[in-house]
Amino acid sequence: MIKPKIILGIETSCDETSASVIKAEGDRVQLLSNIVASSAELQSKYGGIIPEQAAREQLKSIIPVIQEALSQAFPLYPKPYTPIDAIAVTQGPGLIGSLLVGVETAKVLATIWQKPLVPVHHLMGHFYANWIDNSPSFPAIGLLISGGHTDLVLLQGHGKYRYLGGTRDDAAGECFDKCARLLGLPYPGGPMIAKLAKEGNPKAFNLPRPMIHSDDFDFSFSGLKTAVVNTVQNYPNPSEQFTKDLSASLEAAIVDVLVKKTIAAAKKYNIEHILVAGGVAANQTLTECLARVAKTAHPVLKLFIPPPNLCTDNAAYIATAAYFNFNPLDPSKLQANPNLSLA
């Protein structure tokens, strides 16, 4: 089958509604448009995501978001025609109501336009942000750090990987979000903690680095969250500087664990490329620390980190993943699957 050149991607796994058009040739992927509408501001009022509310917002924005992605990609849209070769959509994991919005829309478009429909695993999809305007090669160590997942995988080829380990409880992003909530900060907490951490002392509080010395590639962040709960309880009248110092100390603890395990995996499997993906990869302290440690650990280790806007959920990496893993499915057979995992 000839690989399609122009792919429309659709992503609605959590609280974002995103549509993107990519143009691909050989190993080169170019972004023609990437529109993301988020209900995070609304969710922020409630301190986290209310699944039904997220899906309702996605129902409102899915059509305008797709229209905007098409009109940015094709100046003549909607006339004379829209040269889409295939449609890619996030199949799972995620919130079922949210996933259904994207999957059912993609099925309708694929059926009406008579175009191939490619389901994409959201977590594998995240890694493909590294292929947009770039060309990593295999084998590579993949670190996925998002709101719901923290996983290390050995990427052996497109669609071929070995699971090395993951979190046994909370994900790294979840730990940022839950601790931010404890500190009275809005959702999503990661970006806010990162901002405050810049003015805080990362050594102010001696927080645990759970499982940092364990002889495996698993993680655990719920104990760290408990340590933050205990610290907050010991300071009933926290100052602004307290919040900044605790943010910096929390960020440092999460970064230390993620960096140590990722470099250990690269060393163990003698891998020269590391691919980071997921919303937490937008964290600058993490990426700087990883680059520093990688350089001293192994001079040829090459680090791939997507730009921050491609780290968080968006349809550009979904379309890119579909291009490199082109396995279309009959629209009538595609079903959203909230429980997909990498393990």
Q: Residue from 146, 231, 249, 325 that binds ligand KG4 (CB under 6 A)? A: 146
Q: Give me 223's structure tokens.
A: 């104990």
Residue 129's alpha-carbon distances to 135, 145, 272, 313, 320, in angstroms, are: 11, 13, 19, 10, 7
Kindly give, in sequence order, each residue whose CB lies less than 8 Å from that of residue 77, ignoring residues fewer than 6 positions away.
67, 70, 71
Can you state the percent helix, strand and coil of the chain, rounding each to 5? 45, 20, 35
CA 5/CA 164 separation, integer angstroms: 33
Q: Is 306 in the site for ligand KG4 (CB under 6 A)?
A: no
239 to 278, contacts with ligand KG4 by CB under 6 A?
278
DSSP 8-state secondary structure symbol assigned to residue 279: G
**Residue 207 is encoded by which pair of tokens?**
């927080």
Residue 4 contacts which entry, Zn ion, ligand KG4, none (Cβ below 5-8 A, type-dependent): none
15 binds Zn ion (CB under 5 A): no
Applying CB under 6 A, does 165 fall inside the site for ligand KG4? Answer: no
Q: Cβ closer to Zn ion: 210 or 279?
A: 279
339 vs 341: CA distance, rounded Å: 6
Phi, psi of 20 (to 5 degrees): -145, 150
Amino acid letter, residue 180: A
Q: Which of 92, 102, 119, 147 binds ligand KG4 (CB under 6 A)?
A: 147
- Total of residues contacting ligand KG4 (CB under 6 A): 19
Smallest distance, ligand KG4 to C-beta of residue 343, A: 16
**Closest Cα to residue 302, out of 278, 281, 274, 276?**
274
Count other Cβ atoms within 10 Å, centred on residue 46.
10
Find out whether 57 and 45 touch, Cβ atoms under 8 Å: no
Q: Which of 101, 313, 328, 340 binds Zn ion (CB under 5 A)?
A: 313
Residues of this chain, 181-200, that bind ligand KG4 according to CB under 6 A:
188-191, 194
Q: Which of 181, 136, 126 is nearest to 313 (CA)?
A: 126
Nearer to ligand KG4, 139 or 186 (CB): 186
130 binds ligand KG4 (CB under 6 A): no
| 73, 265, 280, 294: which one binds ligand KG4 (CB under 6 A) | 280
Q: Is 148 in the site for ligand KG4 (CB under 6 A)?
A: yes
146 binds Zn ion (CB under 5 A): yes
Tell me: does residue 16 bind Zn ion (CB under 5 A).
Answer: no
Q: Cβ closer to Zn ion: 116 or 188?
A: 188
Binding site for Zn ion (CB under 5 A): 146, 313
Binding site for ligand KG4 (CB under 6 A): 14, 146-148, 173, 176-177, 188-191, 194, 278-280, 282-283, 312-313
